[in-house]
Amino acid sequence: MAKPPIYYTTPIYYVNDKPHIGHAYTSLATDVLARFKRLDGHEVFFLTGTDEHGQKVEKAAKDAGEDPQAFTDRVSQAFRDLTVTMGFSNDDFIRTTEPRHKAACVALWKVLAERGEIYLGDYEGWYAVRDEAFYGPDELTERDGVKYAPSGAPVEWVREPSYFFRLSKWLPELLRRFDLSDGDPERIDIQPESRRNEVRAFVAQGLKDFAGKPEKLDLSVSRTSFTWGVKVPGDEAHVMYVWVDALTNYITAAGYPDTTNPRWKFWPADVHFVGKDIVRFHTIYWPAMLLAAGLAPPKRVFAHGWWTNEGQKISKSLGNVIDPVSLVEEYGLDPVRYFLLREVPFGQDGDFARKALINRLNGELADALGNLANRTLSLIQRNCEGKLPAAAARTEEDGELFASVDALAETVRKQLDQQHFHIALETIFASVREANGYITKMAPWALKKTDVVRMAAVLRHLHTALRTYATLLQPFMPTTMAALLDQLAVPAGARDIAALGKPMADGVALPPPTPLFRKIELPA
């Protein structure tokens, strides 16, 4: 039976500045899952892109002395370059200034307006340009006469005519969907659990506070005080609120409003990957807009945590922004990809410490996995004429190793279905450690003198284990694992997960092994 198509998205990144580690991180997680699902036989659509409208980008262009379109053309290129630097396998890269996107925004707006979900009014309240978000007075703090949002962004008083979206009407339906059980097709699943509870409580509290005046919960969705955005159809003095424009990207790329587009089969998205700061937009505004337009909401929104740099909050003013490009130049792409997903449980905040990266690179990648491969493959080269030893029956001791190896694909699939990247890596590397224990205990180098038949069997078992690790680690470390699979002589057509069930042909020639990872000295 054909496996269902899968749609994963990253947030689209503001082009007010160049990409940093936070941007690379969200996209990396998405990339790993997209690669895994492709290896597992699914058709995957993986979308990323740039968010190019709004006051924040308009201001950044002005500060740079450039026309906004020229500015966004230039900065968005840096985000496209990053997808290459980081080895992302995205199937499309959307820019919100593209005609296809403006058309989708206009189409969605018209549907909402026709259905009576949008009405004209006046907006008065606090707005933070840095967050492109509205805040209630009770959320603000004041310092030296300036008011700040909980995010630390300064807010300004805004008063202008505005279109409103009837958000209030959809909030009870959202709560119902948040609470449906796992597997219910109508469920909107917010992960991790702590975020779900937060969003749920926020919506429930709003409904309680404004029970008498639900329209207070409606969302201002247009602005008249600047022009860098998608014009509201029929009322060109207004541009759409940048979040309405931005969120729509997820359906633009699937072909909206043309639901006969072959890509429409991917909607609704299986997972929107987002950072914890933008959860509300994705779990409240976006699903409500979709429901109001008669479209299916996303199945899951997963919010990851934030990185600090050596214990410090990352900020431009502190000058400690981590540049993913220089990181990759220094440590290599695959170790960086591995570290980011191994170090911190996905969903929690984490600290970027170079020492921790180097320790993982040296200990886990070079010593544990690299040496296991090198020892096994060198022994096959030297003692088996460089040919894959014949498949052999398993002894009880072999069975202990294979208890973890045979179950690995299924275990990792389940873990990745929950976006538990660090646990998946932990599980694979626990098995790698077992295999290292196995090779030490079996000592195939000694068997050479006492029992060559058993030596060959042990090496074949190790080859099978290594093939399993390399196959399952491909999504995390595509280049290095391709090199390992080459060294293991696994044919190009036999590198997917289903192929793990089919043993390799006995006697295939293996190329001489070369080290997979380069160790790095810890700075004093």
Contacting range for ligand MSP; rule: CB under 6 A; set: 68-76, 213-221, 273-281, 289-297: 273-281
280 touching ligand MSP, by CB under 6 A: no
206 touching ligand MSP, by CB under 6 A: no
Q: Which of 6, 7, 8, 13 binds ligand MSP (CB under 6 A)?
A: 13
CA distances from 346 to 309, 413, 449 (A): 17, 16, 48
Tell me which residues in 40-59 interact with ligand MSP (CB under 6 A): 51
Binding track, positions 459-498, relative to ligand MSP; x by CB under 6 A? ----------------------------------------
CA distances from 520 to 303, 331, 360, 365, 523 (A): 32, 8, 10, 11, 9
274 touching ligand MSP, by CB under 6 A: yes
275 touching ligand MSP, by CB under 6 A: yes
Percent helix / strand / coil, the chain, rounded to 5: 50, 15, 35
Q: Which residue is nearest to ligand MSP (CB)?
A: 275
123 touching ligand MSP, by CB under 6 A: no
Q: Which of 129, 167, 239, 246 binds ligand MSP (CB under 6 A)?
A: 246
Contacting range for ligand MSP; rule: CB under 6 A; set: 8-16, 197-205, 424-432, 466-474: 8-16
Are residues 374 and 515 in contact, defined by beta-carbon separation less than 8 angstroms? yes
* Smallest separation, CB 22 to ligand MSP (Å): 2
CA dihedral defined by 360, 366, 368, 373, rounded to 10 degrees? 150
- CB nearer to ligand MSP: give 338 or 352: 352
Q: Which of 207, 314, 325, 452 binds ligand MSP (CB under 6 A)?
A: 314
* Smallest separation, CB 90 to ligand MSP (Å): 15
Measured over the CA atoms of residue 245, residue 246, residue 247 and residue 248, the dihedral's sign is: positive
241 touching ligand MSP, by CB under 6 A: no
Q: Is residue 48 helix, strand or coil?
A: strand
- CB nearer to ligand MSP: give 249 or 464: 249
DSSP 261: S
CA dihedral defined by 247, 253, 259, 264, rounded to 10 degrees? -110
Q: Which amino acid is at 59?
A: K
Tokens 């000592």 sit on residue: 443
Listed residue (248, 243, 293, 225) closest to 104, CA to CA: 248
- CB nearer to ligand MSP: give 269 or 409: 269
Q: Torsions phi, psi of 15, nearest 5?
A: -100, 30
Instruction: Enumerate binding residues for ligand MSP (CB under 6 A).
Output: 11-14, 22-23, 25-26, 51, 246-247, 274-275, 277-278, 306-307, 314
